[in-house]
Amino acid sequence: MRISVPKESAASERRVALTPEVVERLVRSGLEVAIEPGAGLGSHHSDEQYREAGAKVEAGAGLSGDVVVKVQPPSLDEVGQLREGAVLIGFLQPFTSPELVRALAQARVTALAMEAIPRITRAQTMDALSSQATVAGYQAALIAARELPRFFPMLTTAAGTIRPAKVLVLGAGVAGLQAIATARRLGAIVFGYDVRAAVREQIESLGARFLEIDLGIEDAEAQGGYARPLTEEEQQRQRELLADAIAGMDAVISTAAVPGRRAPLLIIEDAVRRMPAGSVIVDLAAETGGNCELTKAGETVEAHDVKVIGPVNLPSAMPDHASQLYARNIQALLELVTEEGKLALDFDDEIVRSACITRDGEIVHEGVRQAIGAPAS
C-alpha cells in the first residue's frame, strides 16, 4: 500500500504531513511512502532526508497514493487528481467547506478529518487539534510579549523596579493552558478564565490565578470536555463581567472556540476601551470569527491605543515541531487503519466512524451533513 505526501498548496503553509522520522517507521512497518519533491522544505526537511528514511521522492507522487496525507484541506483541483477509492487524511474543515465536502463525495474519496477525531483516551495519540493548539498557545504568548511595549517579568534595576505585566488567558483548553504556562515562564502575573469549573485546578497548577466570574451556573462542561454553548443571557453577563477584569490587564490572550461553530464573543469594544494604553489582545479564535468584537483575521487592529491581533495558522509559524507533532498524530491513525502493510478500515471503530466525512460517494458524517445542508444518505 502506498502512502503519499503532497507539497502543501495553501498560502503560507510551511508544515508537512510526514517527517523523515515518521516515514522511516512507516517503511519499517511494510508501507510504501512517496513524497512530492520539496514537500518538506518549509519545515526544513530535505528530499535527501526522505530518501534516506526510505521514501520515494518523485515528481507528481504527492496525490498518487492509496492513502494521501495532508495538513491543510486540498484544493478542488487536487481533489480532481485523487484516484477513485483513495483515502484522504488531513485537516479538512468539513463544517465550513460545503463545496469541498461535496467534491470529495463525488470523487468517491474516503475522507478522514483530523479535527473530527473523538476526544477519547484511545485516540489521544491521534489528537492533532491538541498538538497544533499547543504550538498556537505557545506562539500566542510570545506574540503578546513581543507586541506589548512593557516587560512581562518584574525587573529590579538601578533605575528602580518594573512591575510585572498582568496577562489574562481566556479559555483553558490545550492552547490556553500552553499560553498560560508560557506567559508564566516569561515572568508575567497570569490569570486564567474558563466557564468549566473543572479546569481551575489545571490553571492553578501552572502558577496562574483562576479568574472567578459568577454567571449563576454551576458548570458549563459538555460532552467531550468542551464548554457547552451559553445562553444569550449567560453570554451577555459573561461579557459584562469580563470587561471589568480585562480593564486591569496589560495583555489578553483569547482561545475560546466551539468546534464547528463561530467563536463566542467574549471581549466587547468597551472592554478594549478600558484597557491601559499600549495593551495587547491576541485573539487565537480570529479564523472562526474572533473572541473580540474588533478582531480581523490576519490583521492587527489598533483601537483605543490597544493592539488587537488576529493571527491565522500560528502552527505554521513554527513548522519544525508543529510538523513533528502532526506527523506522529498521522502515524498513530495510520497504525489504526492498516494491518500488515494493507489498508484495514473498520467503520465500526469509534475513531474511524467519527473521523470519516465521505465514503462510497456519500457524505456520511451526520454533523457535517447538517452543517452544510446536505440531504441524509
Q: Which residues are known to be catalytic?
A: 119, 124, 127, 130, 226
Angle in degrees, CA 67, 70, 73, rounded to 5: 115
- Strands 306-309 and 300-303 turn out to be antiparallel
**What is the C-alpha separation between 74 and 82, in angstroms, rounded?**
10
Burial track 70-102 (b if 16+ CB lie within 10 A, e otherwise) = bbbbbeeebbebbeeebbbbbbbbbbbbeebbb
Q: Are 132 and 105 in contact (CB under 8 A)?
A: no
Return d(Cα 1, Cα 338) in angstroms, integer. Answer: 9
Short-list 257, 164, 172, 256, CA closest to 210: 172
- Residue 110 in contact with residue 87, Cβ under 8 Å? yes
The span from the CA of 193 to the CA of 296, in Å, is 23
Task: Give residue for cell 483530523.
Answer: 114
- Copy the grid coordinates of residue 278: 499600549
**170 close to 263: Cβ distance less than 8 angstroms:** no
Burial (Cβ within 10 Å: 0-12, 13-18, ≥19) of residue 317:
middle
Helix (H) or strand (E) holding 313: none
Residue whose C-alpha is closest to residue 254's, from 211, 283, 275, 229: 283
Select from 61, 67, 118, 135 the least CA-distant residue to 325.
135
